[in-house]
Amino acid sequence: MKVIVFAGTQAGVGKTTVAVGVMAALRQRGLRVQGFKVGPDLTDPLLHEAATGRPSYNLDGWMLSKEYNLGRVRRASIDADVAIVEGAEGLFDGVEGDERGSTGEIAKWLGAPVILVLDCASLRPRSAAAVLKGCLAFDDEVVVAGVVLNNTKNEAHAKIIRDAITAADLGVEVYGAVRTLESADGATNFLTTGRGGVSGASSVDRRRQLAIVANKALMAGGGTSLGQSQVVAGGNEDGGAIGHALGHLRGVGGNAASHLIPRTFSGGGGGVRIGVARDAAFCHYYRENLALLEAAGAELVAFSPLAGDSLPTGCKGILFGGGYPEQHANALASNRPLRMAITAFAAGGGVIYGECGGLVFLSQSLTPLEGSTPRPMCGLAPFSTRGVATEHSGYATVTIRQGCPLFPAGAKVRGQVCRNSEIASEP
Contact 291, 324 (CB under 8 A): no
194-238, pLDDT tens digit by residue?
322 233 345 556 566 666 666 666 555 443 333 333 222 223 333
Residue of 94 and 248 predicted with greater confidence = 94
pLDDT in tens, 121-157: 988 999 999 999 999 999 999 999 999 999 888 889 9
pLDDT on residue 219 = 58
Instruction: Write down the pLDDT at residue 12.
Output: 92
Task: Give residue-wise pLDDT tens across range 37-90.
Answer: 999 999 999 989 988 999 999 999 999 999 999 999 999 999 999 999 999 999
Predicted TM-score (pTM) of this structure: 0.83
| The pLDDT of residue 265 | 58
> What average pLDDT score do residues 264-285 get?
82
Instruction: Assign 186 a pLDDT band (cuts: 50, 70, 90).
Output: very low
Categorise residue 372: left if φ over 0, alpha if ψ from -120 to 50, beta otherwise. beta
Work out the mean pLDDT of the chain and round it to a whole number: 83
Condensed to tens digits (0 to 9), the pLDDT of residues 296-332 reads: 999 999 999 999 999 999 999 999 999 999 999 999 9
Q: How confident is the model at residue 393 (pLDDT cuts 50, 70, 90)?
A: confident
Q: Are the folds of 2-249 and 261-425 the same?
A: yes
pLDDT at 201: 45
Give the percent of the chain with pLDDT over 90: 65
DSSP per-residue codes, 294-319: HHTT-EEEEE-TTTT--PPTT-SEEE
Quick one: which of 145, 190, 174, 9 has its CA closest to 87?
9
Q: Domain-by-domain residue ranges, the chain?
A: 2-249, 261-425
Instruction: Please list the active-site residues.
Output: 356
pLDDT > 70: percent of the chain: 78
Asked whether residue 294 carries a pLDDT value surpassing 90, the answer given is yes
pLDDT value of position 220: 57
* Between 14 and 210, the higher pLDDT residue: 14
The DSSP-derived string for 113-132 is -EEEEEE-TT--HHHHHHHH
Residue 378 φ/ψ, nearest 5 degrees: -75, -25
**CATH classification number, 2-249, choose in 3.40.50.300, 3.40.50.2020, 3.40.50.970, 3.40.50.9100:** 3.40.50.300
Element (H, E) at 93: none
CATH class of 261-425: alpha beta
